[in-house]
Amino acid sequence: MPNDQSPSPGPVTPSGLNHLVLNVRDMEESHRFWTEILGFKQVGEIKASPQRPNPPKMRFYSGDHSGQMNHHDVALVENTALPPPPAEWGMFGMPCAINHIAITLPNREAWLRQLAYLQSRGVKFNRRVEHGMTHSLYINDPNGYGVELLYELPREVWEGDIDAALNFAVSLPTEGVEALADRTEDVPVFRPAQPQPA
C-alpha cells in the first residue's frame, strides 16, 4: 500500500516521554531505591538466552497507571564505569548528565503520605518548593541523580501563563514537621498579563 502521507512542514509534537533508561553503578542498591523508597514495581529484566548469552544487567519498572502497570516507565542498566556520586546533591552545577527526574504522585494526599514515609525512612530532603504548577520535594538516588516527587496543582491555576508559573518558586523547610506542611489556600493563579489602558 503506498504511503499517501505528505511530509510535515516541521517535526510532529510528541505526546510525551515514554520511558527513561538510567545507568546505575550497583543494580541492587538502585533496585532498592526505586522499589522500597519510590514505590515503583519491577515488571521485567533482561535474561540470558541463546541469542543473548551475556546480556547487560537491566531491569524495568512501572508506576501505577490508574490500577494498570505500564510496560515500563524507568529502566536501570548496571554500568560499573560510572564515577562515584557527588558527596552533596545540588540543583545546579552537578557533574551528572541528568539534572533531575520528576515523578508525579496521583494527588496531594498520596504526595503527603510519600513525604511522611520518606522522612520516616531517613531520606534526606534536599529541597522543598512550591512551584506555580506543582508542589515538589527533591531527593537524590544513590547515583547522584536528582529525583523530584510532585503533585500537580489544578490546571486552571497555571495554564493561563505557564511561563509565569514556571518562574514561581517558594522554598520551604526540609527538616522536621515543617517539611511535611503543604499550603492549599492562597495559592497564586497565573493569568496572562492584561494590556494597560492608554
**Among 26, 49, 80, where does a domain finish?**
80
pLDDT at position 2 is 55
Question: Distances in Å between the alpha carbon of 183 and those of 108, 128, 172, 191?
Answer: 11, 12, 10, 20
Residues 178 and 110 in one domain: yes
**Is it the case that residue 3 has pLDDT exceeding 70?**
no
Residue 38 in any domain: the answer is yes
Tens-place pLDDT, residues 100-145: 999 999 999 999 999 999 999 999 999 999 999 999 999 999 999 9
Same domain, 192 and 149: yes
Mean pLDDT of 28-42: 97
Rounded-to-integer distance, Cα 77 and Cα 21, Å: 7
Domain boundary among 30, 49, 80: 80
Per the structure, the complete domain to which residue 120 belongs is given by 98-198
Query: How many domains, in total, are found in the chain?
Result: 2
pLDDT above 90 (res 8): no
pLDDT in tens, 68-104: 888 999 999 999 999 998 889 988 888 888 899 999 9
Residue located via cell numbers 541523580 = 145
186 in the same domain as 102:
yes
Work out the pLDDT band at 160, boundaries 50, 70, 90: very high
Mean pLDDT score across all residues of the chain? 92
pLDDT at 42: 96
Is residue 5 domain-resident? Answer: no
Both 122 and 196 in one domain: the answer is yes
Considering the domain architecture, whether residues 35 and 69 belong to the same structural domain is answered as yes
Are residues 165 and 123 part of one domain? yes
pLDDT confidence of 1, banded at 50, 70, 90? low
Same structural domain for residues 126 and 198?
A: yes
Q: 136 vs 63, 72, 113, 155, 182, CA distance in Å?
A: 18, 23, 13, 16, 10
CATH number (domain holding residue 191): 3.30.720.110
Q: What is the CATH number of the domain that holds 53?
A: 3.10.180.10
163 and 68 together in one domain: no
